[in-house]
Amino acid sequence: MESRKRKAYSIAEKLNVVDRLRSGEAQVSVSSDLNIAESTLRGWLKDEEKLRSSLAGMDCESSKRKRQRTAKDTQLEKAVIDWFNQERSEGTTLSGPIVQGQAKAFHQMIHGDGAGGFEGSNGWLRNFKSRHDIHEVRIRGEQRSADETAAAEYPPILKKIIDEGQYTPEQIYNADETGLYFKMLPDRTLAKRSDEQKTLGFKQAKNRLTILLCTNSTGTHKLPPLVIGKFAKPRCFHHLNMETLPVVYANSANAWMTSAIFEDWFHRHFVTAVRRHLRQQRLPTKALLLLDNCGAHPKTLASKDRKIVISFLPKNTTSKIQPMDMGIIANSKRMYRRHLVKSITARGDLSLPEFLKRRTIKEAIYMFASAWEEVSRQSIHGCWRRALGEAIVTSDDADDSDEEFEGFSAADVSRAFGVSDTDIEEWLNVDEDLPTTAHLTDNEIVANATSQCTEAEESADEDEDQEMEPVPALSSVVQGLELGLRWLETSSNGTAAQTCHLRNIIAMARAAARDSCKQRKLTDFFHSHSD
């Protein structure tokens, strides 16, 4: 008969069980509660004092071993760790060289300028971090710099502004920028130990865009994203009718938001779209746009009739009370990366470098527009309520599901790259703190231009390498659409609405083909002076 292996319990585990028995959380008479034999439990209770004495002796030995790893200069050690703790409590970012420099300064203060023997070497830094369990971590977000008091006081102030302006939730908007590395992939993967090329990868594509997202507090009106790139007319836009893009496109030298771009977007797109939406809802054409205190947001901005105005959130509060920062932007970017992963897994025989080469700004635009469309109304309104609370109230709040932002499952990424949950989260937030605008001095502008020269040239070279797609002949277009229609009509994936929509497109293409084949008269190429 096969014998069952018994688990070996440590002294700490035994005492934990004894404590549970003493507190009444478990019963000795019911051994199934703990899956331990009753006789064993009674033996642990009987030997409780011996167990505690043994554990105390082990702790003593452990503390002796720890005390052996002490610093040679205890005064310097205490000064450095006290300074370190103080600076971190205030949120100061500390690097290894900063700690080493401060240690040298403390050494001079303690032992005098002439004292030698301490260099603050990398070995000292490594041992210092080991002694105090200090690790390097990545800083995210702006929670440290948030003004808690101003954030708490703002919702009643906004409520008063809304009441005085008689704005409905449909008429209250928020807009904010975010950066996007639209080609970047995870930089870690699972690999076998025997794989000699497991650490070899591809150069990370840090092609970036700045995207402005805007929506009202009910989530019923999401404006098309404003996408800012480096180039006014990328090669992938050749022969492209810009009006067909699902976004508004602009450009600047660093792909950053500028006051000129924002003002143009406000007057030409925001005001027009808001008026159209409010007329459809049969509401007064007035609105309030909430913005953060970014230097690229003009401080005096309003529609010509002064009915659509802006209001600024208090400084250093956007991470606390700006609706876009409560998850709307994060969820849209997660949706984008879900689409990116799906496109990678469906790339077929195309190699990954070739796939990335073909990922143009146009492809990223359509993909992000789809991601933005998938962010639900309930999610948006939930973020508004989390950010501004009592200031945002609607009649259907009771029915609001306030759904969580799940983005997509780790399995989607794991199938494509085989990365862990921690690496997935790091990849999802890789461009969280990517700057979208800056106020630079003249010297900073020159310095940045010099340091960014290589990156700009690489982007320009990549843009030049992208082949311009020729405009297809109308006859080929009609044939392709008709082939697609036959597939859609026989496929189980198609819907009646999709079939009707495709038929309308085919009819439009046929009409354009007929017009292009009409015999032209010589007089058609001349115009009278009265025209």
- Exposure b/e, 7-33, CB count within 10 A at least 16 = b: eeeebeebbebbeebeeeebebeeeee
Q: Name residue, tokens 């920062």.
A: 325
CA distance 100 to 106: 10
pLDDT number for residue 191: 37
Q: What pLDDT sits at residue 460?
A: 43
- With cut-offs at 50, 70 and 90, classify the pLDDT of residue 196: very low
Q: pLDDT tens for residues 384-402? A: 999 998 788 654 554 444 4
Q: What is the 3-state secondary structure (H, E, C) of 490-518?
A: HCCCCCHHHHHHHHHHHHHHHHHHHHHHC
What is the DSSP code (8-state) at residue 37?
A: -
Residue 218 CB neighbours (<10 A): 20
Please give the pLDDT value at position 157: 92
Q: Out of 27-36, 290-299, 488-497, pick the least confident.
A: 27-36
pTM: 0.59
The residues, any chain, with a CB within 8 Å of residue 267's CB and separated by 6 or more, are 303
Q: For residues 351 and 346, give the distance between their C-alpha atoms in angstroms, rounded to a whole number.
A: 11
> What's the rounded Cα separation, in Å, for the pair 242 and 85?
55
- pLDDT above 70 coverage of the chain, percent: 67
Closest CA to 248 of 373, 369, 380, 375: 369
- The confidence band for 221, taking pLDDT boundaries of 50, 70 and 90, is very high
Two structure tokens written together for 5: 């292996």
pLDDT given at position 446: 38
CA angle 257/154/297 to nearest 5° reads 15
- DSSP annotation of 472 reads P
The pLDDT assigned to 517 comes to: 67
**pLDDT value for 450:** 40
**pLDDT given at position 159:** 92
Helix (H) or strand (E) holding 311: strand 308-312
The whole-angstrom separation of Cα 147 and Cα 149 is 6
Question: Which DSSP state fits 323?
Answer: G
Beta-carbon count within 10 A of 183 CB: 20
- The arithmetic mean of pLDDT across residues 454-466, rounded, is 43
Which pLDDT band holds residue 457 (cuts at 50, 70, 90)? very low
Q: What is the average pLDDT score of the chain?
A: 75
| High-pLDDT (> 90) share of the chain, % | 24
DSSP string computed for 325-351: GGTHHHHHHHHHHHHHHHHHHT-TT--
Higher pLDDT pick, 139 / 508: 508
Provide the residue type at 103 as one letter: A
Judged against a pLDDT cut of 50, whether residue 192 lies above it is answered with: no
Between the ranges 126-130, 137-141, 326-330, 476-480, where is the mean pLDDT highest? 326-330
Residues 6+ apart with CB under 8 A from 297: 259, 262, 291, 310, 312
How many Cβ atoms from other residues are within 10 Å of residue 433's Cβ?
Answer: 12
**pLDDT, position 433:** 65
3-state secondary structure of 111: helix
- Spell out the residues 6+ positions from residue 222 whose beta carbon is closer than 8 angstroms to its own: 213, 214, 215, 372, 373, 375, 380
Residues 250/227, Cβ–Cβ less than 8 Å: yes
What is the per-residue pLDDT across 401-431, written as a single tens digit (0 to 9) for each? 444 444 455 555 555 555 555 556 666 666 6
Determine the Cα–Cα distance for residues 365 and 372; give it in Å rounded to an integer: 10
328-385 confidence digits (pLDDT tens): 998 999 888 888 878 877 777 777 777 777 788 988 999 999 999 999 999 999 999 9
* Cα separation, 126 vs 471, whole angstroms: 61
Virtual torsion, Cα 99, 102, 104, 110, nearest 10 deg: -130
pLDDT at 498 > cutoff 70: yes
Total Cβ atoms within 10 A of residue 531 = 5
Would you say residue 180 has pLDDT above 50?
Answer: yes
What backbone torsions phi and psi does residue 250 show, to the nearest 5 degrees? -140, 170
Side-by-side strand order, sheet with 248-251? 248-251, 226-229, 208-216, 172-181, 287-291, 308-312
Provide the residue type at 431 as one letter: D
State the CB neighbour count (10 A cutoff) for residue 455: 14
Note the residue count of the chain. 531
Which tens digits make up the pLDDT trace of 223-255? 999 999 988 888 888 777 888 889 999 998 888
Q: For tokens 């080609």, what's the residue?
A: 183
